[in-house]
Amino acid sequence: MASILRFRKLCYVQPVKCSSLSFESFETPKVEKKDEVLVYTAHDTELDKQKKKKKKKQAKEWRCIDSCCWIIGYICTTWWLLLFFYHCLPVNLPGLRVPEPPGVRLRRDGLTALHPVVLVPGIVTGGLEMWEGKPCSEGLFRKRLWGGSFSEIFKRPLCWLEHLSLDNVTGLDPQGIRVRAVPGLVAADYFAPGYFVWAVLIENLARIGYEEKNMYMAAYDWRLSFQNTEV
């Protein structure tokens, strides 16, 4: 009887197979499975931590183009804020004397319009409008693609880029696209709303008698080379 009890104790307590009775202890395999699960979960958490560290390192990398974009953003934001505050201020503040425009002073001195004046805008400041385009540009006939509000960049950027790009071989507009310079004084008076280029000069020249019949804006397509401007 004692030998039978010892044999049963060995089978149930110790992790030993009992081939003669064809049954085995079931406690140790469960513990091993739990240990395996714990090992796998610990390994997964380590991999997740490593991936998060890599993502953080990649996010912290700073490039030169990022610095340039931030500088341009700060400059544009400062400029727009100054313009906003300038237009919000009342015309006559107590204790603030607005300087007299040059055109008023010249007219008081008796200066009048004599010779024709030709204004030549610089590169990029001249407006460009569309005369012919692809189906994606429907509704943009004779509307500005460059200069003005630049709203088309946000509405249809790929279409806008396609119409402003030139052919790589000819250096002219691609087939089926015609973009031309905006005619008249409005071509470069304002580059964008609130950002004047020639507007102040035009206003002061108008004070002494100049108008569109003796004051001209030599607008041109600044994208083209000197040879292609004559084509």
Q: What is the pLDDT of residues 172-192, one digit of tens each?
A: 999 999 999 999 999 999 988
Which range is least confidently modeled, 22-31, 126-135, 142-151? Answer: 22-31
Question: In what side-by-side order are the strands of the sheet with 178-181?
Answer: 144-146, 128-132, 178-181
| H-state helical runs in the chain | 2-13, 27-60, 64-88, 102-108, 152-155, 157-164, 199-207
**pTM value?**
0.59
Rounded CA-CA distance 182/31 in Å is: 82
Q: What is the average pLDDT score of the chain? A: 78
For residue 89, what pLDDT band results from cuts at 50, 70 and 90?
low
Cβ-count burial of 126 within 10 angstroms (0-12 exposed, 13-18 middle, 19+ buried)? buried
For residue 73, what pLDDT band results from cuts at 50, 70 and 90?
confident
Residue 105 has pLDDT above 80, yes or no: yes
| Stretch 50-67: mean pLDDT | 64
For residue 83, what pLDDT band results from cuts at 50, 70 and 90?
confident
For residue 17, what pLDDT band results from cuts at 50, 70 and 90?
very low
Q: Which of 186, 183, 192 is nearest to 151 (CA)?
A: 192
% of the chain beyond a pLDDT of 90: 40
**Do 130 and 137 contact (CB within 8 A), yes or no?**
yes
pLDDT value of position 87:
67
Which residues, other chains included, contact 169 with Cβ-Cβ below 8 Å and sequence gap of 6+? none
Write the DSSP symbol of residue 94: T
For residue 211, what pLDDT band results from cuts at 50, 70 and 90?
very high
| Stretch 102-124: mean pLDDT | 91
Structure tokens at 146: 């460059």
Which residues, other chains included, contact 214 with Cβ-Cβ below 8 Å and sequence gap of 6+? 113, 116, 117
Which range is least confidently modeled, 30-34, 105-109, 122-126? Answer: 30-34
pLDDT value of position 184:
93
| Stretch 61-76: mean pLDDT | 77
| Stretch 207-211: mean pLDDT | 94
Q: Which of 132, 231, 219, 139 is nearest to 176 (CA)?
A: 132
How many CB atoms within 10 Å of residue 128?
20
Higher per-residue pLDDT: 114 or 8: 114
| Stretch 68-93: mean pLDDT | 75
